[in-house]
Amino acid sequence: MEYPEIKKRIDLIRKEAGQAELLLATKTVDCERIEYAVKECGVKYIGENRVQELLEKYDRLKDLPCELHFIGTLQKNKVKYIIDKVSLIHSVGSLSLCEEIERQAEKHGIIMNVLCEVNIGQEENKSGFLPDEVPEAYEKMCGFPHVRPLGLMTMAPVCQNKSDYLKYFTKTYRLFIDNCIKKVDNRYRPILSMGMSDSYREAVQCGSTMIRIGSAVFGQRTTK
């Protein structure tokens, strides 16, 4: 995608997103384009989803005037590589992962911001807590001294009919309201991270506070 086109797309999505923050999912995107999006288009949040790629890009990304988040599946043994590099981990889908984040955060003397990942479509091969597990899991996540849960994240099942997204996002919003909002310290803003290129309009309609956009800005990814 050429630079002026990237800016055009960002501006348009921002308009459509209303109150929701725009996070750019920057997997496979080169650092020049990411820099352009941050410095010339004012993007405030970027998210990487592979540890290896984040580490490779980190020297270029670390001084950008934006927050760097981790949004992908995270293996426990890799927490140590990113704990001091990101400001929010969106994808905490198990208590054992949360325990490892607690351990590493304590070691670094920090409190790590996290989101509890919900497998809202109850899909076999997807990570995250099942909807029924969220109340107890979220409560437990709030008990770790070096972990600060700020809300929920979900990846909805891919829907052919876009209106089907509404059902999943409404259900996630309900969980967010019932389990998270009251528990977030009022110095912080509760975050509901949902909506991607194909579904952000529906997500915003259902109360998303942060949409994660890749291909709608940077074009179709050719490699994974």
Ligand X SMILES: *Cc1c(COP(=O)(O)O)cnc(C)c1O
State the residues that interact with ligand X by CB under 6 A: 25, 27, 49, 71-72, 155, 196-198, 212-216
Q: What stretch of H or E contains 23? A: strand 21-25
Cα–Cα dist 12/108, whole Å: 40
Instruction: Supply the minimum distance, in Å, between the C-beta of residue 186 and ligand X.
Output: 28
Closer to ligand X at the Cβ: 87 or 108? 87
- Closest of 181, 193, 92 to residue 141, by C-alpha: 92
Cα–Cα dist 149/112, whole Å: 8
Contact between residue 83 and residue 105 where contact means Cβ atoms under 8 Å apart: yes
- β-strand partners of 133: none
Closer to ligand X at the Cβ: 149 or 214? 214
- Closest of 218, 213, 214, 212 to residue 2, by C-alpha: 218
Q: Which residue is nearest to ligand X (CB)?
A: 214
Instruction: Supply the minimum distance, in Å, between the C-beta of residue 103 and ligand X.
Output: 24
Instruction: Supply the minimum distance, in Å, between the C-beta of residue 106 and ligand X.
Output: 26
Instruction: Supply the minimum distance, in Å, between the C-beta of residue 60 and ligand X.
Output: 19
